[in-house]
Amino acid sequence: MKTILVTGGTGFLGSHLCIRFIAEGHRVLCLDNNYTGRLDNVESILNHENFTFLLHDIIEPIDIDEKIDQIYNMACPASPPAYQGAHAIQTTKTCVFGAINMLELAKKHNATILQASTSEVYGEPLEHPQNERYVGNVNPIGVRSCYDEGKRCAESVFFDYLRIYGINIKVVRIFNTYGANMDPNDGRVVSNFICQALRNEDLTIYGDGSQTRSFCHVDDLIEVIVRVMNSENGLTGPFNVGNPEEFTIKELAEIVLKKIKTKSKIIYKDLPLDDPTQRKPDITQVKTFFDWHPCIALEDGLNATIEYFSKICE
Ligand code: UDP
């Protein structure tokens, strides 16, 4: 039995980790400020004897006496409408101060710490697909840079804590992920399209819909993240994690319309600034090191996700 701290534990990915670890018999400390996370996501384990919820913002340091074995640093708003604009400075602080505070905690507890990094570190990629050696093409002063540069800086401090203090770090770069426990109102494309179709509202494609993303079902993603965390010391990454099957946003809208009986049509809106044109992970490294590959095709993953949203979207 391990004691595992999950920051962002009431969020989309964090809640899946907490639920899995409780099912496996571990002690779980779930930390969140509930800005984009929701206690509903962990309702099924809220009263479990091995589960403790800590209302805290990782921007501030935290001292925890109970001995921690592993830290999954998942806390950060991940949807562009949630991390930009009025929240931009908070986002950078969450990425950078949050990483430093959690690394300090890992140092104190001699814990292994995994950083949830992102495909956004590649910015508007000039290489396709993106592998981990690609250093990216990020606009440092754009509306997305609070997240992109914040996550890049977090990777930087992780590797400095490895070099200076020998902390056992793991870094995963998470590509677009979807599934149960997504917030219906957070503005991501999969949640927007499904909820719009369920509500008979028109599906909003930003730009002409030719931009691409590669969508990974959350169950596949959680499995690889856990494998990375539990790998031998020294396998630090960064590792791309995601599903390399690439779709245009227009194709995604058409698939959703085919699956849901709805009066919705497609409408077009302005493309947000600095919205990446294409994105697809090269996952050779995780395949090689962790004997992992995504198993859930978009069509199947969407069916399960539609079922989830049909219970919570009116
Ligand atoms: N998008 C869209 N309609 C929406 C929400 C998003 O066309 O209602 C587009 C968005 O502009 C981007 C892609 O879908 O090109 C993925 O957006 P999301 O916010 O899900 O993820 P990210 O941009 O972080 O990859």
Answer yes or no: is the C-beta of 204 below 6 A from any ligand 1 atom: yes
Tell me what pLDDT residue 80 has.
Answer: 87
What residue owns the CA closest to ligand 1's atom 1? Answer: 189
Tell me what pLDDT residue 257 has.
Answer: 98
Q: Which atom of ligand 1 is nearest to the CA of 276?
A: 15
What residue owns the CA closest to ligand 1's atom 19? Answer: 188
CA distances for 114 relative to 122, 159, 235, 263, 264, angstroms: 19, 12, 11, 44, 41
The Cα 8–Cα 72 span in angstroms is: 9
Answer yes or no: is the C-beta of 213 below 6 A from any ligand 1 atom: yes
- In terms of Cα–Cα distance, which of 31, 105, 113 is closest to 75? 31
Q: Which atom of ligand 1 is nearest to the CA of 176?
A: 25
E strand residue ranges, 35-134: 51-55, 70-73, 112-118
Instruction: Choose, from 147, 165, 178, 308, the residue flagged as catalytic.
Output: 147
Q: What's the average pLDDT block by block, 10 residues per block, for the chain (314 residues)?
A: 98 98 98 96 98 98 97 95 89 98 98 98 96 97 96 98 98 98 94 97 98 98 98 97 98 98 97 95 98 97 97 84
CA distances for 125 relative to 96, 117, 120, 135, 284, angstroms: 23, 16, 9, 9, 18
- Torsions phi, psi for 216 (to 5 deg): -110, 135
Answer yes or no: is the C-beta of 182 below 6 A from any ligand 1 atom: no
Q: Which atom of ligand 1 is nearest to the CA of 203?
A: 8
The Cα 144–Cα 134 span in angstroms is: 19
Tell me what pLDDT residue 82 has.
Answer: 83
Active site residue 134: no
How remote is the CA of residue 6 from the centroid of ligand 1, in Å?
A: 26
CATH of domain 3-177+217-243+280-295: 3.40.50.720
Tell me what pLDDT residue 84 has.
Answer: 85
How remote is the CA of residue 189 from the centroid of ligand 1, in Å?
A: 5
What residue owns the CA closest to ligand 1's atom 14? Answer: 189
Q: Which atom of ligand 1 is nearest to the CA of 196?
A: 8
What ranges do the domains of the chain cover?
Answer: 3-177+217-243+280-295
The Cα 48–Cα 31 span in angstroms is: 15
Answer yes or no: is the C-beta of 16 below 6 A from any ligand 1 atom: no
